[in-house]
Amino acid sequence: MGRQPCCDKVGLKKGPWTAEEDRKLMNFILTNGQCCWRAVPKLAGLLRCGKSCRLRWTNYLRPDLKRGLLSDYEEKMVIDLHSQLGNRWSKIASHLPGRTDNEIKNHWNTHIKKKLRKMGIDPLTHKPLSIVEQEDEEPVKKLQKVQVPLQEPVKKTLEEPSNTKNMLTLEEPQDDDQFMAMNLDYGLEDVPLMDPESLELICSNSTMSSSTSTSSNSSNDSSFLKDLQFPADFEWSDYGNSSNNEGVDNIIENNMMSLWDVDDFSSWDLLLSSTFGLV
DNA sequence: AACTAGCTCAACCGCGAGAAG
DNA sequence: CCTTCTCGCGGTTGAGCTAGT
């Protein structure tokens, strides 16, 4: 007969987390690792539901998280990925180490959207606004779907190879307007994205510097992290390759913090040309 | 100084997919 | 095979902050 409900919502605390709750959750995960979220609040002595604990951990407490504003380079990555994936924030986040889907989603809605509109680009379609407006005025043209086999190199970069979806679906217009016509309709597994090795290569070839915005903007609420001592048997299997007994600062610094702080992309030209074909 | 409007982002909500019983 | 649950995701909300008047 199924399982027990994840949490009976009676008597559970909601709203902002206190430093004490953070400490309890952090200590519990660091000691026991991530297991069954349903059991976490009970075992950690928290009056929260498992879902809330998971969210707090993934969006705020995880030691590999980068804090602060997204760098220019990260922003460009987000835009590029969004043009291919749409609002699949978790997929986008998986290509930006140390960033969460929530963070990227918020940044998109509050910063990038405006920025793109200001530049005359529709954040939804990634097309120039003038064209989007034209499209809105014209009656919607029916698009006819055709299937095109993926090129080999593209297939190799697929993040989650699928047996059934090795085809890119193109929407072919019924008129002659090439630009408006080509509307790539990627399947979730079909997007040709960089693999981690390629990303590493890019990072290692780029000028690395620790950005002031990412490394020093940590929230005061999480300052206790710096005092946390990691248990001797704790393994960072999911968060990097650091050896045991390292403090939070070292782990974050050695593995993640500066990975994406690439300062040598000062203009948007590269992005514009690669993503939108502009400039 | 007081009020208001706009902005930011942490947290919640509801849903779907897949797993478990 | 069906029901129930867990997990993860994307959309939305609202408290707190800031800038403008």
User: Rounded to whole angstroms, what are the CA distances from A235 to A11, A33, A44, A241, A247?
Assistant: 34, 8, 19, 9, 13
Rounded CA-CA distance A68/A107 in Å is 11
Ranges of each domain in chain A: 19-61, 65-137+196-279
What lies within 8 Å, CB to CB, of A170 at 6+ separation is: A145, A146, A147, A148, A182, A183, A184, A185
- In tens digits, what is the pLDDT along chain A, a chain of 279 residues? 433 444 445 678 888 899 999 999 988 988 888 878 888 888 898 988 888 999 999 888 888 888 788 888 889 889 999 988 888 898 899 888 889 999 999 999 888 988 888 888 888 888 887 776 676 665 544 444 434 333 333 333 333 333 333 333 333 333 333 333 333 333 333 444 444 444 344 334 333 333 333 333 333 343 344 444 444 444 333 333 333 333 333 433 343 333 333 333 344 555 555 555 544
Q: What is the CATH number that goes with domain A65-137+196-279?
A: 1.10.10.60
The neighbouring-strand residues paired with A248 are none
- How many Å from the CA of A15 to C1' of B12? 8
What lies within 8 Å, CB to CB, of A127 at 6+ separation is: A121, A180, A276
On strand C, nucleotides with any atom < 7 Å from a protein CB are 3-12
Whether nucleic acid strand B comes within 7 Å of the CB of A38, the answer is no
Q: What is the pLDDT of residue A10?
A: 64
Rounded CA-CA distance A162/A155 in Å is 10
Q: What is the pLDDT of residue A66?
A: 82
From the alpha carbon of A217, which nucleotide's C1' atom is closest? B9
- How many Å from the CA of A215 to C1' of C18? 23
From the alpha carbon of A5, which nucleotide's C1' atom is closest? C5
Whether nucleic acid strand C comes within 7 Å of the CB of A109, the answer is yes
Q: What is the CATH number that goes with domain A19-61?
A: 1.10.10
DSSP state of A271: H
Whether nucleic acid strand B comes within 7 Å of the CB of A28, the answer is no
CA nearest A85: which of A162, A192, A216, A232?
A192
